[in-house]
Structure 1
């Protein structure tokens, strides 16, 4: 469809598909989903027509000349200009590959990956039931099927899989057991405030340094933010020499 196709005309002003698209973009993706059908587009066009009518009526009644409106308009204009000027300063700031690499080499301690484990569990309400399930697993029932059949944790839908986690993310009793297990081992019942857990450890990852490529995007954002902040401070300090500033705080 051509974005210039005219959908409505109000007092000579055209409402095109491009007008509708701009309106929808301003609403955001979630709201926009409600207007994807032909009926939804018609509702948007009707709303744009109504808004244009209100605008024309406001002009006819001289609302644009009222003091409270002109004050609000000036306030909005000032805020918009401030943001535009700031964006104009910050958009010129770039980051080089060398700056990113230097930051990585000088701050390696900040990119240390902690020890992690990947585990699954089955949660039941008493120790005897947990021991019976372990017996079934030892006799051939897969851990995943046992989780689906017996676990009271929502993770049962993924065969009990809890994914990867670091120390401090689980309750202490569970964490201690998981981090002291061998890969592929299945624990005895572990009691926590939630009940009794049967834990299966599927992977263990030692503490390690993140590679440059793993954190490059993160560092780029960090260095860019630092440079933009410095550019902002440099500019405002420069302007303080040009314009009078009286700060009573």
Structure 2
């Protein structure tokens, strides 16, 4: 599932701000200060300008006003004839041309419902959320140490508390200081021997025999287990559509790029 989602092209979309005629905060010689101007200054979409203190709003607007005034003056002073300005403008035009072209190309590739469903049917095995485990462990170097720890837990009235106490004093792993707590993780995330043993446990139970892995011998305590499930078509339909758009776009870009490269003079130093 991760592999499929990673190919999505949501980051390729161009975000635009739609404003009503009256949707502005101030004006400078008729040049309106819009939400887009404010967003450019704030540089953080999480900030709601309307909820900022009045003095902070004023500071932002004053900064934009000064910027517009200085930009107008720069144009009057002939900045458009400056080489650095021309070079920057040329690069900006190229970047903007590519972004708009990219947006238009993406819009051309809209998969049909039948294409999306067909992909889902052929790749159902990829649309699975694995079983999730929540566990702790005690890691020691030898099998005898692990057996001794299991015996101590067996004889304890509060086995969970005893497990945590032994993990803090006996475990050689980095989680020992946390009572061996590993957190929640996909069942297939750990090394195979550990995952197999943990999967066999019931909630709030521990391994009665040492579990050997490349790291040593483990005693595992399973706190919780959430069964995995297959994702329905409706749950992943949108993701599949985005992925198919991305694949079609990437194929188109490669074909166009390869064709253009044949007639372009390219020098790499």
TM-score, structure 2 normalization: 0.62
Deviation at 1:232, TM superposition (A): 4.0
Residue 91 of structure 1 aligns to a residue in which SS? helix
State yes or no: 1:221 paired with 2:249.
no
CA distance in 1, matches of 2:124, 2:220: 37
CA distance in 2, matches of 1:51, 1:194: 64
- Consecutive unaligned residues in structure 1, runs of 5 or more: none
State yes or no: 1:179 paired with 2:179.
no
Deviation at 1:92, TM superposition (A): 3.0
CA distance in 1, matches of 2:185, 2:224: 10
Equivalent positions of 1:67-146 (< 5 A) are 67-111=83-127, 116-121=131-136, 123=138, 132-133=152-153, 135-136=155-156, 139=157, 141=158, 143=160
Residues 155 and 202 of structure 1, relative CA distance in 2, 3 Å threshold: farther
RMSD of the TM alignment (CA)? 4.4
Residues 109 and 130 of structure 1, relative CA distance in 2, 3 Å threshold: closer
Equivalent positions of 1:49-68 (< 5 A) are 49-68=65-84
CA distance in 1, matches of 2:84, 2:33: 32
- Tell me if the contact between 2:134 and 2:223 (Cα under 8 Å) persists in the aligned partners: yes
TM-score, structure 1 normalization: 0.66
Residues 18 and 103 of structure 1, relative CA distance in 2, 3 Å threshold: closer
Residues 171 and 246 of structure 1, relative CA distance in 2, 3 Å threshold: closer
- Tell me if the contact between 1:117 and 1:178 (Cα under 8 Å) persists in the aligned partners: no
CA distance in 2, matches of 1:194, 1:53: 70
State yes or no: 1:170 paired with 2:159.
no
CA distance in 1, matches of 2:128, 2:149: 41
Residue 200 of structure 1 aligns to a residue in which SS? strand
Deviation at 1:68, TM superposition (A): 2.7
Which residue of 1 is the match for residue 10 of structure 2? Answer: none
Of 185, 199, 202, 2:221 maps to 199
Aligned residues: 232
Residue 119 of structure 1 aligns to a residue in which SS? strand
Between 1:171-180 and 1:214-223, the stretch displaced more is 171-180
